[in-house]
Amino acid sequence: MKLERFREIALDFCGLDDENPVLVGVSGGPDSLCLIDALARCDFKVVVAHFDHRLRAESGEDARMVQAYAAQRGLPFVLGSGAVAQYAAEAHASLEEAARFLRYQFLFEQARQLRAQAVAVGHTGDDQVETVLMHFLRGAGLAGLKGMAFRDFLADWSAEIPVVRPLLAFWREDTVQYCRENGLSPVMDASNQNTVFFRNRMRHDVIPMLETLNPQFRQNIWRMTQVLAGDEAVVQAAVEAVWQRSFEQQGEDALALRVGELKNQPVGLQRAMLRRAAACLDPGLRDVDYAAVERGVQLLRSAADGQADLVHGLRLVIEGDRLWVTRKAELPLEDTWLQMIGPDCDFFVPGEFPLAARWKVSARWVEKENIPHSLRETSASDEAWLDADCFLRTLQIRRARPGDRFQPLGMKDHSMKVSDIWVNQKLPRRARKDWPLLACDDAILWIPGFRPAHAYRITSETRRALHLRVFREDDFS
Amino acid sequence: MKLERFREIALDFCGLDDENPVLVGVSGGPDSLCLIDALARCDFKVVVAHFDHRLRAESGEDARMVQAYAAQRGLPFVLGSGAVAQYAAEAHASLEEAARFLRYQFLFEQARQLRAQAVAVGHTGDDQVETVLMHFLRGAGLAGLKGMAFRDFLADWSAEIPVVRPLLAFWREDTVQYCRENGLSPVMDASNQNTVFFRNRMRHDVIPMLETLNPQFRQNIWRMTQVLAGDEAVVQAAVEAVWQRSFEQQGEDALALRVGELKNQPVGLQRAMLRRAAACLDPGLRDVDYAAVERGVQLLRSAADGQADLVHGLRLVIEGDRLWVTRKAELPLEDTWLQMIGPDCDFFVPGEFPLAARWKVSARWVEKENIPHSLRETSASDEAWLDADCFLRTLQIRRARPGDRFQPLGMKDHSMKVSDIWVNQKLPRRARKDWPLLACDDAILWIPGFRPAHAYRITSETRRALHLRVFREDDFS
């Protein structure tokens, strides 16, 4: 292992500087001992951090060895320890997961306290190949096949302090040789041989076997990871661009994307968008099932109203141009919708009537001389001017009923079913049930948000007007 | 194997119709026999094609068996055969490569003659997994890891007739079971057991071993191929977009891309652009060496003039804003450059003097009354107007010499080295050697393509002008 190349990698690929402290996780094995020693020799400001997992009787000796090494080299040393077995039992996690969790918790806490520029760990090219092979066996996508990076932010731990892996460009045997050449005596962690069963089968059985088929296997996989990491960045950039264009809204239980932006995208991007949407609602989600994503893609490509189950209780719903990802049976009501919250009832003029989401309907009489000369055009949907002489004093505000008909302003000869108006206006079905109508006896005067009734329009004969309006309580218009 | 699902896949994923003939390659093994039988039962218009590789004594029997099957089902049958061993020896290819080459040659020739919509082959999900595993072992990128497609155009064979693989969604054991259930008696190709050594090690040793580690291994890899094919399409779309923006020119031995468009792209796209550029110049090229691509990326990111070897005698050269990929030691001369083709010599006025690429320099005297009132601005680079009284009758046209100095029009107080003018104008080094200068004794009058000399500018005193011009023979301006 050439120290010069190591230093280049630490600077250029890991992005380390030699002014700020680097916290180095040191188990005492050849990888991490080589790492701390090489970083120190290259004049990086290292702090030695050891976490005692207390899983083996001799773990205290490892800690003392690492501490002695730090003392001998005059390097600052921090020691942590945790009740791994107890944590594993409490969190229903494997010993390995629990150990990793407590170790990283310790490392990042220390790094924050020390204002370290990074946490450095001793993963080698062999760890990379083992990791990628394990991902391959479970059919991982690009994110898994690209393996670990020289410099990376672990979302679970810190958005500011990266984890860096300067040894990723070297093999495990390089670190063993480095220790030998530099008089370092690593501890041989017995757990390497036993606890991490699956990884060890890779290391001791599968990779040597694959190397008999292709002696360049490890080198090939290592290069593959570099190429795929580049490809993944390209895909991620494309995903980000489409996400920006198609994202519409997100609440706690649901988010909405624009179907129009998504339906003609390549299937690779559609899959990525579904996975990302799921991860937005369920940040702990690691993998979205292949079949679930394919169901979602099929729904999306149909671009027709419909539903599909996604994963972990998340559902996909297409409603018009919206693709909802939601964990509730009911989609959220839009706060731009007018929705009655109480029962149907009388509505006195002048007066106000409250709706959901801080909306209100108001009504007042306006004498002829105060009617604006140029009424807003017929499409203005937040108010209606009607000829008051046509009405009794009491109006009703109520929901639509089967058979309700309505003749909108400008439609001279015939009336329409209210239900057809909903469809024409593309009002989502679940918004229709509680949408308010203003009525007088059997006649519908106005559907707030749409046009007023033709029969009650203002004419030159009008002597007094009924002015109806919807507004939000925080609107001062 | 459900015939209904098979038919869906043939229609939707393979894009087959049931009106035009499909040429089906049938070895007689369970895969291809299942394929032809299922296609025929689903009412596709199939033609049975068998290619006798004559590598085994019993190969004639396979042919007769396939022919008998076709006759019994009333299906059209075509038979081909080739001297595989001889071809392999002549082409220095392996028996497997030679067999594949001659077989596909036969299939596509027949497909063209029959105006077939596609060539169907019997690859199963197992073939897919074996292929991808082999690609994985050699560290292939996305293009290799995505495996085979349901529908694909093989660049070597046809841009119009696709190869389709309806069995890709089924396992080999499904086809064996299909044959059993439908009374078909496939031949067991002995070569499966022997000749294709590497693939057979996958099939019989490696995959069963990996399945002990993950029983879902084959299923996982199959799904992985589908996901990665989607990702690859996203990458390819991004590559295509950047290619369009950065492509500048291509000749037989060299092509040029714009450095400015490439240098800030993500490394994944830079790699892809280099691979694509190499493939443009060398269409037979399958793989570009990892290290070669990394050298190229490094050169590109430097964005400074320099060179790097790529692969197969191709070189990368950055020259100003151009990234050249070239197979020649010399880059092509630009035909927009002015280049002397003969020796330095005298130049008589009036007269013309030929340069490379159909360029010419012309000179003439112009009397005062014919000098245009508003001379084109000083930056006009294809002509120069000079005060003729300053000259003898004979000019020289010659190359630059060490120490040559020049005072361009508008620069009043001092002169510049000609070599500095080249640098300022970013004229590529290799264009400078043969660039013509117009001189009179020791004074440089004009560097064609740049400004004329300040000392000889037209003034109100001028009585006669020397008008110099460069033009292309096919310019009629």
Surface-to-core class of residue A181, CB atoms within 10 Å of its CB (0-12 exposed, 13-18 middle, 19+ buried) = exposed
Task: List chain A pLDDT tens, one digit each, 477 residues.
Answer: 899 999 999 999 999 999 999 999 999 999 999 999 999 999 999 999 999 988 777 778 889 999 999 999 999 999 999 888 889 899 888 888 899 999 999 999 999 999 999 999 999 999 999 999 999 999 999 999 999 999 999 988 999 999 999 999 999 999 999 999 999 999 876 555 454 678 888 998 899 999 999 999 999 999 999 999 999 999 999 999 999 999 988 888 899 999 999 998 999 999 999 999 998 988 877 777 888 899 999 999 888 888 888 888 899 999 888 899 998 877 777 888 899 998 999 988 889 999 988 999 999 999 888 888 776 554 468 889 998 887 766 889 999 999 899 888 888 888 899 989 888 888 888 889 899 999 988 889 999 988 888 888 888 888 889 999 999 887 655
Whether chain A has a CB inside 8 Å of the CB on B172: the answer is no
DSSP, residue by residue, A15-65: ---SSSEEEEE--SSHHHHHHHHHHHHTT-EEEEEEEE---STTHHHHHHH
Of the candidates A139, A227, A232, which has its C-beta nearest B221's C-beta?
A: A139
DSSP string, A414-448: --EEHHHHHHHTT--HHHHTT--EEEETTEEEE-T
Q: Do B224 and A266 touch (CB under 8 A)?
A: no
What is d(CA A382, CA A372) in angstroms, rounded to the nearest whole number? 16
- Specify the DSSP element, H or E, that contains B309: strand B306-309
Do residues B426 and B382 lie in contact, with contact meaning Cβ atoms separated by under 8 Å?
A: no
Best A228, A234, A302 member to test B by mutation, with max B CBs in 10 Å, is A234
Task: Say whether residue B212 is in contact with chain A using an 8 A CB cutoff.
Answer: no
- How far B227 CA sits from the closest chain A CA (Å)? 7
B210–chain A Cβ distance below 8 A for any pair: yes
Contacts B228 to A, Cβ<8 Å: 141-142
Contact B139 A223 (CB under 8 A): yes
Q: Give yes or no for A237 touching B (CB within 8 A).
A: yes
pLDDT above 60: residue B377: no
Please answer yes or no on whether B234 and A237 come within 8 Å at the CB atom: no
Nearest residue on chain A to B211, alpha-carbon basis:
A137
Rounded to a whole number, what is the distance in Å from the CA of A269 to chain B's nearest CA? 7
Closest residue of chain A to B231, computed from CA coordinates: A268
Indicate if the pLDDT at residue B191 is higher than 70. Answer: no
- Residues of A whose CB is below 8 A from B235: 231, 234-235
Q: What is the count of residue pairs from A and B with beta carbons less than 8 Å apart? A: 120
- Residue A140, φ and ψ in degrees, nearest 5: -65, 160
Q: Cβ of A428 under 8 Å from any chain B Cβ?
A: no
C-alpha angle A31/A37/A39, rounded to 5°? 100
Yes or no, beta carbons of A231 and B141 under 8 Å apart: yes
- Cβ pair B234:A201 closer than 8 A: no
Closest by CA to A122, choosing from A210, A208, A186, is: A186
The pLDDT of residue A399 is: 93
Lowest mean pLDDT among A225-229, B278-282, B393-397: B393-397
Q: By CA distance, what is A239's nearest residue in B?
A: B234
Predicted local confidence at residue B380, as pLDDT? 60
State whether residue B266 sits within 8 Å of chain A by CB.
yes
Residues of chain B contacting A221 with CB distance shorter than 8 Å: 136, 139
Global pTM reads 0.79
Residue A223 Cα, gap to closest chain B Cα (Å) = 7
Mutate to test the interface with A, among B234, B290, B293 (most CBs of A within 10 A): B234
**For chain B, first and last CA: distance in Å?**
73
Average pLDDT over residues B237-243: 94
Q: Which among A139, A227, A271 has CB closest to B141?
A: A227
Q: How far is CA A235 from CA A301, B140, B272, in A?
A: 20, 18, 13
CB contact under 8 A, A142 and B268: no
Structure tokens at A261: 């932006």
Q: Residue A216: its chain B contacts at CB < 8 A?
A: 138-139
Does B290 reach chain A within 8 Å, measured CB to CB? yes
- Residue A389 at interface with chain B, using a CB cutoff of 8 Å: no
Amino acid sitting at position B467: H
Query: Is B449 within 8 Å of chain A by CB?
Result: no
Helix-helix angle A217-246:B217-246, to 10 degrees = 70
CB atoms B138 and A216 under 8 Å: yes
Sheet-wide strand order for B247-250: B247-250, B254-258, B322-326, B315-319, B306-309
- Nearest Cα residue in chain A from B197: A213
Alpha-carbon distance values, B321 to B273, B287, B293 (Å): 16, 27, 19
Strands (E) in A284-413, as ranges, are 306-309, 315-319, 322-326, 345-348, 351-354, 359-367, 383-387, 394-398, 405-406
Distances in whole angstroms, Cα of residue B414 to Cα of each of A148, A466, B69, B390, B449? 60, 87, 93, 19, 21
Residue B256 has pLDDT above 50, yes or no: yes
Q: Which helix (H) or strand (E) holds B52?
A: strand B46-52
Contact B140 A206 (CB under 8 A): no
CB-nearest partner of A238 from B214, B216, B238: B238
CA atoms within 13 A on the CB side of A69: 30
CA end-to-end distance (rounded Å), chain A: 73
- Contact state of B139 with A224 under an 8 Å Cβ cutoff: yes
Burial of A68 (0-12, 13-18, 19+ CB in 10 A): exposed
- Judged by a CB distance cut-off of 8 A, whether residue A138 touches chain B is yes
Chain A residues in contact with B236 by the CB 8 A cut-off are: none
The minimal CB distance from B268 to the residues A136, A213, A230 is found for: A230
Sign of the torsion angle spanned by Cα atoms A326, A329, A332, A333: positive
Helix ranges (H only) for B92-216 are 95-113, 125-137, 142-145, 172-181, 191-194, 197-201, 207-213
Q: Does B298 touch chain A (CB under 8 A)?
A: no
The residue type at B29 = G
* B141 φ, ψ (degrees, to nearest 5): -85, -165
Contacts with B221 from chain A: Cβ below 8 Å: 136, 139
Task: State the Cα–Cα distance between residues A355 and A336, nearest whole angstrom.
Answer: 11
- For residue B340, with 0-12 CB atoms within 10 Å meaning exposed, 13-18 middle and 19 or more buried, which class applies? buried
Residue type for B229, please?
A
Nearest residue in B to A206, CA atom: B210
SS3 A362: strand
pLDDT for B319 beyond 90: no
Which of A222, A227, A268 is closest, CB to CB, to B233? A268
What is the ipTM, given to two decimal places? 0.78
Contact call for B220 and A137, based on CB within 8 A: yes
Residues B414-422, mean pLDDT to the nearest whole number: 89
User: Residue B392's pLDDT band (boundaries 50, 70, 90)?
Assistant: low
Contacts of B342 (CB under 8 A, 6+ apart): none
Query: Any chain B CB within 8 A of the CB of A216?
Result: yes
Q: Is B150 on the interface with A (CB under 8 A)?
A: no
